[in-house]
Structure 1
Amino acid sequence: MFDTMTLTKIVGAFCGALLVFLLGGWVAETLYHTGGDHGEDHQQAYAIETGIEEVDESAPEVDVAELMASADAAAGERVFSKCKACHKLDGSNGTGPHLDGVVGRAVDSVDGFNYSGALEEVAQVWDHEHLFGFLANPKQYAPGTKMSFSGLPKDTDRANLIAYLETFSG
């Protein structure tokens, strides 16, 4: 039943299948390899726009007082539309604490709101500087905060919003 010719055919078929498998793997690696572990430059095939601008760490410091001097509360009212989903200006809490009187108010001081405690680590009072930094990127400014808002990348939008919130200082 097993003669030399049959055994040679079986071994040859096995070697041929192994060769096809190895060559197929090599061809696939060559076609689809992105270069990450071979020291070559790696670039994404496509980028997903999230609408969030990357912050340039080498950017010059912003003079908040100068921005606040030229801030427009009416423009800040339009910016506040992004905040309305979670915050109110009538003294009642929503998903977030109410923001009337927030400028100059102690951090984590709204009665009846369950804060995360992360804000107390970075500020004591919501002054212009702290609000300006927090509104730029809440998660980066106060790691551990419950606020899921991604922030306002434009300096003028933040200044205008703070000016608008100052009109509700009660």
Structure 2
Amino acid sequence: MKSAGKIGAIIAALIFAGATANPGYAQDAEHGKNIFKACATCHATDQTDRVGPGLGGITGRKAGTIPGFSYSSAMKTSDIVWNAKSLDAYLESPQKVVPGNIMPYAGLKNPTDRADLVAYLATLK
């Protein structure tokens, strides 16, 4: 029975590692908060819309669904639900993930910075 528990713990750790934006890296939401400063020009950390939509509660939300915000048709029809994996991919290359979206951002290429930013976004409620 003890070995079954160890195997379960190992499997759970592997699943968690695979679900993170940068496997094997302990994400640093505080560093992500610093990375977010570049995003804050267009995005608020609550539900307030600016040039871009407010990012409060983004994790688990379907893309393009905040009432009253003027999303591109590409974003509205993307069928993306924001989670660690989809946020990581989008932050790396917004136009590749949602061709035709209107966010004028080339992407965050550093995987550690992206992982930390995704960790920070997950704290926004």
| TM more than 0.5 | yes
Distance 1:125 1:66, change over 3 A: closer
Hey, what does 2:20 align to over in structure 1?
Answer: 65
Hey, what does 2:115 align to over in structure 1?
Answer: 159
Hey, what does 1:126 align to over in structure 2?
Answer: 82
1:121: Cα distance to partner?
Answer: 4.6
1:78: Cα distance to partner?
Answer: 0.7
The DSSP-based 3-state class of the residue aligned with 1:162 is: helix
Hey, what does 1:98 align to over in structure 2?
Answer: 54
Q: Based on CA coordinates, which of the two structures has the bigger radius of gyration?
A: 1
Q: Tell me the distance in 2 between the aligned counterparts of 1:149 and 1:155.
A: 16
More relative contact order, 1 or 2 (CA 8 Å, 6+ apart): 2
The DSSP-based 3-state class of the residue aligned with 2:20 is: helix
Give the total of aligned pairs: 107
Moved over 6 A (4+): none
1:119: Cα distance to partner?
Answer: 2.6
Identity of paired residues, percent?
36
Letter in 2 for 1:139: Q
Hey, what does 1:88 align to over in structure 2?
Answer: 44
Counterpart of 2:104 (choices 119, 135, 148) is 148
Distance 1:133 1:89, change over 3 A: same
Hey, what does 1:74 align to over in structure 2?
Answer: 30
Unaligned runs of 5+ in 1: 1-62
1:76: Cα distance to partner?
Answer: 0.1
Q: Tell me the distance in 2 between the aligned counterparts of 1:140 and 1:66.
A: 17
